[in-house]
Amino acid sequence: MNVAELLYHNVPVDIFTLKENCTLLEQAQNLIDQCFPGATNMKVIGVNADVSEADIPYAQSNRALHGFMHGGCFFSVGDTLTSIMAFFHVENERERTFTMDASIRYLRPIRTETVRAKARLVQKNGKILEYVCDFFNEENKRAAQAKYKYAIAEPR
């Protein structure tokens, strides 16, 4: 099965609307827009098994009380990108991706800029996947860096 078919088997169609006749990128964005990560306003630019990118425009829905982009926005976008990337490593329709561990370091605040998230697979050990997601401001300076660890397993 390809990734698009696996998504179709894994996404609960009673609560999500899937598009038909679209690319994986379009389907991923469609699903993101229907759940929590949609509040970040993230727009996926590209995604495959090894790398992915998204833009996060600064908006009222993703800012914190101090006016800067909320740290949870960074974290959620990275988790979402890497989760989609992990899906490329799923081998059958019974397997799911699970976040095992994650951490983030915030390096500079974002007030009015669009952030570019760039995630990459750094290690694969069987069904354990490790990713790094860097977040860059419009001057291409790192604003944050997150690390995510996933397991691929069949739920019991």
Q: Residue 2: which pLDDT band, with cuts at 50, 70 and 90?
A: confident
Cβ(94)–Cβ(154) below 8 Å: yes
* Best CA proximity match to 149, nearest among 79, 89, 75: 79
Q: What is the mean pLDDT of the chain?
A: 94
Domain architecture of the chain: domains with CATH: 3-153 (3.10.129.10)
For residue 1, pLDDT over 70 is answered with no
* pLDDT, tens only, 33-51: 999 999 999 999 999 999 9
* pLDDT, tens only, 67-101: 999 999 999 999 999 999 999 999 988 999 999 99
Predicted pLDDT of residue 109? 93
**Residue ranges with strand state E in the chain:** 43-47, 51-57, 96-106, 114-125, 128-136, 142-153
Predicted pLDDT of residue 138? 94
pTM of the model: 0.93
| Residue 37 token pair | 């990560």
Predicted pLDDT of residue 150? 98
Predicted pLDDT of residue 5? 76
* pLDDT, tens only, 117-156: 999 999 999 999 999 999 999 999 999 999 999 999 998 8
